[in-house]
Amino acid sequence: MDKSNLENLLRFPGYNKIINDASVLSCGCLTSESIFLNENLVKCPNCQQTNVSIISNIKPLRELYHILNDKRRRSSSRKSFKGIEESSSHYNINESMDLLTLFHKFAKEEQIEQSKSNVQPINIIDQKNQNQNQTQNQNQRETSITSSFPSSPSTNSASVSPQNYRNYATESLKHNSNVRFETLLENVSERKEYNFSKCFPFHRKLVTFQTQQMKLNLGPLKLGSSGIKKAISLSIHTYIDFQKGLEITRFVLVSEKRWELYEYVLPLKDTDISQIKPKLICSGKSSGEYGESSTNMNQLKIPGDNEILKRNDFGNKSEDKNSITELKKRLSTWDQMYSQLTKNFLVISGTKGVMRVFNIDNNSKYQMGEPLYTYLTDFPIRCLAISPNEKLIACAITAREKISDKEQPFIALHKIEIFEDFSIKSIEPIMITIPYRDPIKILNFNATSNHLICGTVWESRYVIIKLQNLEKPKLVYTDVPYKKDETVSDRRADDELMMTNEGITDLQFGNINTNTILVTSCYVYNRPALLFRLDGTQIDSTRSGIDDYSNKSFTSNDKDDENYSRIKTVELIMKIPEIGSSLHRAAISPRGDGIVYLDKDGRLFLVSATNFNSRSNSSNKKTIVQLGDVSNSERFTESAAVKFSADGSKIFTVDRKGVFQIFDFTKGIPGEDLDVVKCKIISL
């Protein structure tokens, strides 16, 4: 590979030379720190915006400059680089490599050379500064900045998405500061990526596990375990533990009175996934018991030793002892309905206005499955969501006004404060009023946890709320995805089939720094899946490097921030009528090259495109295949859970019958491995 291609990464618009001290300006453009400061510039050399300033330096690009300098001075490195090209040609990989793959290969070279000379390998991970608070803010800014580089994902990509490993690397460094960049990349398998480029999206290997044993009724004799017969809520979460070299996937099955949490641990290195089975790691009941299994549960204690109890009475004062009495009463009669799963928490809400948060962290001081927080309200909870950084929990409440007796939707936003030992310090609910009478049915956070999107029931409207200042959350955009263009007869037919028309069934933000929104719906008439792009502010940007919601230095009264938080309009960049209009779920690949849709009948459709962020629909050709099937569902709340793996190479599903499936695109080559089969092609 020509070295000039790498040097082009260090040539910024507005400069005619290679930059060795890359930094980013407040306008989002790249600049040279020394030139910008020495010449006292106040205008961006690229976009010509005035009153700009340097936010932070960009460590990966600066390290790339030093690596290229070393390559120029050492001929041995050139020979090593030539050898890498030969090894790549051995796998017949002719696609262009991205920045992360090049770093991986350079790290291998450095390890080989420096092991011979007993020299300390280059560490391109940020070291701790003397001031810990400044270090955290700087890391947050650099994470946002470096994540903004486009990776140009492709269906023929031969490398792991830099965006994925960068995000998970940042998460690992928060807990272990001595993890090296080479350690984070040593499990990147070129063979898997080669298989992925040959399989995706047309071929995959399917592995299926049954987590619930079927009961056999033989008169008075019943065989089988007393598992969850039918789950009414499901959730999947997957992440990579770089230090242990493991990909950990957890999924939860929730019925009205019970819940079960399973874990599927897969080594990042080549292994046979069919030999590894998911195992039950925790179980609980709606009444409050929890334990390792249904036969081994702790004694009931309400509230728990470490449980925080909050009751929202909307102005009606109540004593703690009444709240405890009310909690015991509600837990004996409530039914579980909705669930959300993250790395450390399981959140379940249901009838009687109850929402509970459970610990699922093995390394926490709390017990596995122990309740940590319970929220009580006198009004129904319709849906819930937990932010990716696990600092916010949102639940939608529909209350009634005392005077007019009209319904008014609220969002109860629970801010979680955590001690240094990751124990919960406090949880404070904050009420957000929605300026519509329409109840809320769907909630989801964006990747940086500073925006919340809400979907309504009757009008199928979506609302975007900015949360960077929790004291004054701000509605920044609202719209209806489907325009009212039906005839009078169509509207009458819709009214008669109201139970069949579920409206919006899934609503979520796209990948980080794409400013996209995914919308799926279930209608009798043609309402295809839509993909919108927000025209205006970059919603995933952590401007000023603030994601600590307790920081009071950020105020929404700032005029600059008002302009920065503006979303002007939305642009429809893709609609997918080929998969029908009865859709329940959607999941987007972290690589940005695929979206999985689940319809009402349980069919899984994979839509693949070169770049889902393209503004041009004509040039953005998409490929659609049917991956497989799961159990169907009458309502979208009971549909199967679908999730891409952390590196985008696999798709996990679990349905209401407890069937866990893995669609793997990296476990073989079509024509050579019999287990790698072809998907049904819907559209090319």
Structure confidence by residue, pLDDT tens digits, 564-599: 557 888 999 999 999 999 999 999 999 888 999 999
- Write out the residue range of the structural domain in which residue 112 sits: 94-186
DSSP state of 500: T
574 and 442 belong to one structural domain? yes
Q: Are 673 and 682 in contact (CB under 8 A)?
A: no
587 and 666 belong to one structural domain? yes
Residue 99 lies in a domain: yes
**Total domains, the chain:** 4
Residue 348 lies in a domain: no
Give 559's contacts (C-beta < 8 A, 6+ positions apart): none
Residue ending a domain, choose from 540, 555, 580 = 580
Q: Check residue 132 and give its pLDDT.
A: 44
What separation in angstroms does the CA of 582 have from each of 122, 377, 492, 493? 53, 33, 19, 17
142 and 152 belong to one structural domain? yes
Residues of the chain with pLDDT below 70 are 1-5, 72-188, 213-227, 314-321, 421-422, 484-500, 542-565, 613-620
555 and 586 belong to one structural domain? no
- The alpha carbon of residue 144 and the mean position of all alpha carbons in its chain are separated, in whole angstroms, by 15
56 and 160 belong to one structural domain? no
Q: Residue 350 and residue 252: Cα distance in Å, rounded?
A: 15
115 and 62 belong to one structural domain? no
- Give SS3 for 3: helix
Q: Check residue 505 and give its pLDDT.
A: 95
Token pair 């459709």: residue: 605
φ, ψ dihedrals at 104, nearest 5°: -60, -45
Strands 424-433 and 603-609: unpaired
- Give SS3 for 99: helix
Q: In the numeric block, which tokens belong to residue 583?
A: 């859709």
Q: How far apart are the first and last CA of the chain?
A: 32
441 and 576 belong to one structural domain? yes
Q: Residue 298 and residue 445: Cα distance in Å, rounded?
A: 34
Q: Check residue 355 and give its pLDDT.
A: 96
496 and 451 belong to one structural domain? yes
3-class secondary structure for 100-150?
A: HHHHHHHHHHHHHHHHHHCCCCCCCCCCCCCCHHHHHHHHHHHHHHHCCCC
Q: In the numeric block, which tokens belong to residue 185?
A: 């990349």
Residue 619 lies in a domain: yes
Q: Residue 639 and residue 631: Cα distance in Å, rounded?
A: 8
Residue 416 lies in a domain: no
Give 102's contacts (C-beta < 8 A, 6+ positions apart): 6
Q: Are 275 and 267 in contact (CB under 8 A)?
A: no
Q: Are 587 and 180 in contact (CB under 8 A)?
A: no
Nearest alpha-carbon partner for 440 in 416, 475, 470, 469: 475
Residue 145 lies in a domain: yes
598 and 575 belong to one structural domain? no
DSSP state of 12: -
31 and 128 belong to one structural domain? no
B/e letters for 175-209, b = 16+ CB within 10 Å, e = fewer, are eeeebebbbbbbbbbbebbbbbbbbbbbbbbbbeb
Residue 176 lies in a domain: yes
- Cis link prior to 201 (omega < 30° from 0)? yes
168 and 113 belong to one structural domain? yes
Token pair 């047309």: residue: 202
574 and 627 belong to one structural domain? no
Residue 162 lies in a domain: yes
Q: Check residue 552 and give its pLDDT.
A: 41
Q: In the numeric block, which tokens belong to residue 499?
A: 């139970």
B/e letters for 491-500, b = 16+ CB within 10 Å, e = fewer, are eeeeeeeeee
- Give SS3 for 446: coil
Residue 122 lies in a domain: yes
